[in-house]
């Protein structure tokens, strides 16, 4: 497999960055990789909308999501036919959710490394993944 072309941030990473005091390990991980292109799945945008709707303390989420989607406008990846075909070939078993496997298929299609706390799910699908909470200085992409 060739060197990954960039990073695909999972929902947990984006939500962490939204916190008032995001974990320094996550911030540092992304800062050290600022030379790479960073992408979001359209599924992550949907999950963030769900989280905002479920937690009344997050009243500013719609405004923040508007800013996020504007900032990432050219780097939000859809679940298109090619991703769907790849997804249909993946089998992570019942412990890998449909959303995780669709994100994995997106990463495979675009040759990206998934950045998530749930690296085991992605690695089970043979997708490059790194946990920014646990990554050391030289870990991952």
Task: Report yes or no: 130 and 113 within 8 Å, Cβ to Cβ.
Answer: yes
Residue 30 has pLDDT above 50, yes or no: yes
CB contact burial 86-106 (16+ within 10 A = b; e otherwise): bbeebebeeebeebbbbbbbb
pLDDT, mean of residues 114-141: 86
Residue 122 has pLDDT above 60, yes or no: yes
What's the confidence (pLDDT) of residue 138? 46
Q: What is the pTM of this model?
A: 0.88
Portion of the chain with pLDDT greater than 70, in percent:
87
Residue 141 has pLDDT above 80, yes or no: no
Task: Report yes or no: 33 and 1 within 8 Å, Cβ to Cβ.
Answer: no
Nearest to 115 by CA among 99, 128, 124: 128
Mean pLDDT of the chain: 88
What's the confidence (pLDDT) of residue 86? 95
Portion of the chain with pLDDT greater than 90, in percent:
65
Classify domain 6-130 at the CATH topology level.
Rossmann fold (3.40.50)
Order the strands of the 129-130 sheet from edge to edge.
Answer: 76-77, 37-41, 6-9, 113-115, 129-130
pLDDT, mean of residues 107-134: 96
């Amino acid at each position: 497999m060739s060197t990954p072309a960039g990073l695909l941030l999972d929902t947990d990473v984006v939500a962490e960055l939204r916190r008032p005091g995001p974990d320094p390990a996550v911030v540092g991980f992304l800062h050290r990789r600022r030379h790479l292109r960073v992408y979001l799945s359209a599924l992550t945008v949907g999950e963030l909308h769900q989280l905002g709707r479920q937690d009344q303390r997050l009243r500013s989420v719609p405004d923040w999501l508007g800013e996020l989607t504007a900032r990432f406008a050219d780097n939000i990846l859809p679940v298109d036919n090619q991703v769907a075909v790849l997804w249909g070939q993946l089998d992570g078993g019942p412990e890998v959710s449909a959303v995780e496997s669709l994100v994995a298929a997106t990463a495979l299609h675009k040759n990206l490394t998934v950045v998530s706390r749930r690296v085991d799910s992605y690695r089970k699908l043979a997708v490059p993944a790194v946990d920014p909470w646990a990554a050391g200085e030289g870990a991952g992409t």
